[in-house]
Each structure stands twice: as C-alpha cells, then as structure tokens.
Structure 1
Amino acid sequence: MATEIVIAQTTIDDEQKAQTLALGAVEARLAACAHIDAPFTAIYRWKGSVETAKEWRISFKTTSERLPELAAWVAEHHSYDVPEWITLPVAGGSDAYLTWVAEETATD
C-alpha cells in the first residue's frame, strides 16, 4: 500500500456537533470514516483558569494527501477558538482496510 493513512483527532463539547463534524467530513470524502468516542471528562488550562468539560473525541480515518483539506474543513466548522487537532500516522493494518480508506477519500 503506497498511500499513507493517518488518523486525525479533534474534540468537541456537544454530541450533535461531533456527529455533524463526522458526517460532514465523510460526506465530503475528506475522511473514509469517523469514530465518535463516548463522552469523557477533559481538564485543561484556558485563559489562566483550570477548566473541566465533557467532550467527545472524533477520530477521522484519512490519507496524508487529504489531510490538509480535512484540517481546513474542521477548523472552519469547529466551534472552538483553538480546537484540538492532532494526527497519528498509521504504521500498519490490513491491506483491505487501508485500501478502502484510500479509495473512499480519493478525489477522482
């Protein structure tokens, strides 16, 4: 498999917003799929205070080629001033799954 597959993650404070981000990215073929994790507690420092919030993590499966467009799309549609955006390279996996991700994010 020559195409590099990546997992890109963000978090958001509302389940419906998480579903909207996930669905929009998949419909636009920026991600082959997106998983939304069950809500968890986030503790973080923001503007000089320690905050606590309930958040949902969205993990997008995409290619390194589509990643810049996905990042821009999420930034445009995300409600946070500074949304979490991290990417993780996929070091391996089944050829069938990795091929599926590449095919479902293809632009042709």
Structure 2
Amino acid sequence: FSEMQSHYWWEGKVETATEVPVYLKTHRRNFSDVEKVVKELHSYECPCLVALPIEFGSKTYLNWLDQSSKGE
C-alpha cells in the first residue's frame, strides 16, 4: 500500500493527513457489510467510503467477482 497526502475540510479548517487508500472489490449486495466493518475499524469519525459502479469489464473477471463475493 502506498501512502498519499490528503487535504480536506474538517470542523471549520483545512486539514492535511498522510493516509493509505484501500480499494475493496465486491458485489453491491455486500456494501452494507463492508461499510459496517470499515466504520468499526477505522480511526476516522467519517472515513471516505464510496461505491463505484462497474460500467464495463471483462466477462471472465465479472463472473469471478460475482461468484467469489457470494459468501458461500
């Protein structure tokens, strides 16, 4: 994981912090579970947690993602 400098507005002033971005890949049906775990473990009161829709992708990868994120 590579560190990055983050600049954001928090409680009335601009803050700067060194952060490590993490990208998690899962099916949309798992988002609420992922959100719950991240909020429990993250040190920030308001961590950046967003979902990006997949518009296009290789059929092989998308099939794998669907199968591997079912939780079975």
TMscore range, shorter length: 0.7 to 0.9
Match of 1:51 in 2: 15
Counting aligned pairs with the same residue, the percent is 32
Gaps of 5+ in 2: none
Say what the alpha-carbon RMSD is for the aligned residues: 1.2
Deviation above 2 Å: which 4+ runs of structure 1?
none
Q: How does 1:66-77 map to 2 (within 5 A)?
A: 66-77=30-41
Look at both structures and tell me which one has the larger radius of gyration over its CA atoms: 2
Q: How many residues are aligned here?
A: 72
Gaps of 5+ in 1: 1-35
Tell which has more relative contact order, 1 or 2 (C-alpha 8 A, sep 6+): 1
Q: How does 1:1-108 map to 2 (within 5 A)?
A: 36=1, 38-108=2-72
| TM-score (norm. length: structure 2) | 0.87
| TM-score (norm. length: structure 1) | 0.61
